Structure 1
């Protein structure tokens, strides 16, 4: 009886070993190049920060200069701190593939690595009574941490741009029912900056189907995934709903893929939920995904309101000279009013007067009806024109850099808007909203938001709603800070500004 049970297992194991023996050597992939470049770049940045700290330390008069003059103190310490910092980055997961290029977790891990380095070095100096210059220690992190974050941000931008042009891509097989395969592939193709190139689909049954309804070529059945992966030269296999009838079938597939370089990804039946709201808690081998409640209520409370008041106040002070020049230019061009007031729908569907610098001729609203045939979004609820003849010469300039929206900082101070939030909607747009779009109105509209940093007027209506709903459900103060920083880049790049 024992031999009868062992025989299938041995046969299975022998097939796996034979498959691995026939497998072609792993060729370098985009992700390997990226990770290697990040390691080299991090090392260079930390070395530069160390050198800067060593050179600047003696010039800081408020620190004790006698330590800096001791030969052999700072030099060896700098070498050791570079090594410790690189190891701390590795230990904190800053080079983990799952955290590269997406979200804020990569930057959080960089901060974790820096904090770990500071703690380890401080502890080592205390235990060994090593007289390390405090100025050098502080300067290394003051210079190094911002440089690391800026370097990672720049590297991410370069990689995202390369991926949009078809470079540094990972070849992906998607397994599941045809409907779920098409749904996942739609997302992967839409967000090409993620670097996933779908090469085929695997279906749970052997029905004679050449492609899914969306046109994804079918390469075989899920049970043959271990043989199809080397045939398609795949890097990643994505298992979505319907891929396996039982959990045991999935477990056996993972056994077959053991030892191969392919990465396995499971897509749960969840969508538009940030990683911060998800927590995996295995119970008796069963992976339970705990999902926190949507954050729409928290997105209108104290912390966000304090962020709005402080941020808008500082921005008003800094932008005051620019706002004065814009106002003067508008007045001199045609003698019309400087400000344009328009009724918009705010939080809980309360109307308010949204302030903007006037960028169109005074009779712009009266002329909208004659331009309706040229609306770029005729099938949606928005009115958009690529070349709007009502825009003035000054208006084109201030729209390009979003200067026309600076008066909305007053709306933020008054509590009618937020620095970050959904796009402020017109009453007639709200009347045409589908039911799910009304959730955008649970929070204050924003001066900027995911809609702006993702393309502004270039976005389709459905994408704008999807981004706004994602923001409302997954709000966090870290996300707000990230959007504000991305807004600066979007404004200077003038993406979708017309």
Structure 2
């Protein structure tokens, strides 16, 4: 049964070149009744699903905390400033997956490594990531502390991923639209490609989601994200 559902969802891919011209950004300033109801339901789902999941998996979180302390020096959690709705800065929480002196290691990157990082904001073989960190990223377990961000209202379960200041230029004219919605723990490109998706395609997928978001689309993206994690189709 699950396989049949998954296949029907996979057939729902989007040809961005045919379905949307992203140079034509529509005005989303006027929120209609349908959108108000959608956002209300979305916030209720975000809060209660994150709270229930956080309580349910608390034993797993404790095990991960202990494992991180045993694996390498440094704090258990990692905080990083990201841009949220309206471009507001907030701290996103993750389990630490890098060595304690990650900044020093970054400064010693080769020119090729720095060029790759500047292009994609990630490395295929990042020497800063610990052995346990690789596992946590591969399984997306490092993202679990962001349930706290969802409860606080910084994040939604589904939405464009929160970006850092340097990434704004990647969105160009679409940056303004990006900041009209709350970012999410997962989103369109994570569900459809995860880290294997090019940055240009990420932008297109984020714009598609913003223009077409519905409760049903959110449910489909949550399902597809879970399937991607189970299949380990690249880390987010």
Instruction: Tell me how far apart the structure 2 counterparts of residues 338 and 295 of structure 1 sit (CA, whole Å).
Output: 40
Q: Against the structure 1 CA distance between its residues 395 and 329, is the aligned structure 2 distance closer, same or farther, given a 3 Å change threshold?
A: same
1:383 aligns with 2:121: yes
SS at match of 1:442: coil
Aligned pair partner of 1:481 in 219, 231, 234: 219
Tell me the CA shift for residue 375 of structure 1. Answer: 5.2
Root-mean-square deviation (Å): 2.9
Aligned pair partner of 2:98 in 360, 363, 369: 360
Decide which moves more: 455-464 or 310-319.
310-319
Tell me the CA shift for residue 313 of structure 1. Answer: 1.1
Tell me the CA shift for residue 369 of structure 1. Answer: 3.9
1:374 aligns with 2:113: yes
SS at match of 2:179: helix
> Is the contact made by 1:331 and 1:337 (CA closer than 8 Å) also made in structure 2?
yes
Corresponding residue of 1:153? 5
Q: TM-score, normalised by structure 1?
A: 0.41
5+ residue gaps, structure 2, are none
> Which protein, 1 or 2, shows the higher relative CO under an 8 Å CA cutoff with sep ≥ 6?
2
1:414 aligns with 2:152: yes
Corresponding residue of 1:343? 81
1:441 aligns with 2:167: no
Q: Against the structure 1 CA distance between its residues 296 and 376, is the aligned structure 2 distance closer, same or farther, given a 3 Å change threshold?
A: farther
5+ residue gaps, structure 1, are 1-146, 161-186, 191-266, 274-291
Instruction: Tell me how far apart the structure 2 counterparts of residues 365 and 412 of structure 1 sit (CA, whole Å).
Output: 28
Q: Against the structure 1 CA distance between its residues 296 and 367, is the aligned structure 2 distance closer, same or farther, given a 3 Å change threshold?
A: farther
Instruction: Tell me how far apart the structure 2 counterparts of residues 307 and 350 of structure 1 sit (CA, whole Å).
Output: 23
Corresponding residue of 1:81? none
Instruction: Tell me how far apart the structure 2 counterparts of residues 466 and 296 of structure 1 sit (CA, whole Å).
Output: 23
Deviations 1:217-245 (A, max 9, x none): xxxxxxxxxxxxxxxxxxxxxxxxxxxxx
Q: Against the structure 1 CA distance between its residues 460 and 375, is the aligned structure 2 distance closer, same or farther, given a 3 Å change threshold?
A: farther
Corresponding residue of 1:323? 61
Deviations 1:274-325 (A, max 9, x none): xxxxxxxxxxxxxxxxxx9869953883221111101111211222111111
Tell me the CA shift for residue 496 of structure 1. Answer: 2.1
Tell me the CA shift for residue 151 of structure 1. Answer: 5.4
Corresponding residue of 1:234? none
Instruction: Tell me how far apart the structure 2 counterparts of residues 151 and 399 of structure 1 sit (CA, whole Å).
Output: 25
SS at match of 1:413: helix
Alignment of 1:228-307 (within 5 A): 271=20, 298=35, 301-307=39-45
Instruction: Tell me how far apart the structure 1 counterparts of residues 21 and 206 of structure 2 sit (CA, whole Å).
Output: 11
Tell me the CA shift for residue 156 of structure 1. Answer: 4.2
Instruction: Tell me how far apart the structure 2 counterparts of residues 413 and 313 of structure 1 sit (CA, whole Å).
Output: 7
SS at match of 1:344: strand
Deviations 1:66-91 (A, max 9, x none): xxxxxxxxxxxxxxxxxxxxxxxxxx
Instruction: Tell me how far apart the structure 2 counterparts of residues 154 and 470 of structure 1 sit (CA, whole Å).
Output: 21
Tell me the CA shift for residue 459 of structure 1. Answer: 0.9
Alignment of 1:447-466 (within 5 A): 447-466=185-204
Tell me the CA shift for residue 365 of structure 1. Answer: 3.2
> Is the contact made by 1:398 and 1:404 (CA closer than 8 Å) also made in structure 2?
yes
- Is the radius of gyration larger for structure 1 or structure 2? 1
> Is the contact made by 1:360 and 1:395 (CA closer than 8 Å) also made in structure 2?
yes
SS at match of 1:301: helix
> Is the contact made by 1:361 and 1:390 (CA closer than 8 Å) also made in structure 2?
yes
> Is the contact made by 1:343 and 1:353 (CA closer than 8 Å) also made in structure 2?
yes
SS at match of 2:190: helix
SS at match of 1:434: helix
Q: TM-score, normalised by structure 2?
A: 0.84
> Is the contact made by 1:296 and 1:474 (CA closer than 8 Å) also made in structure 2?
no
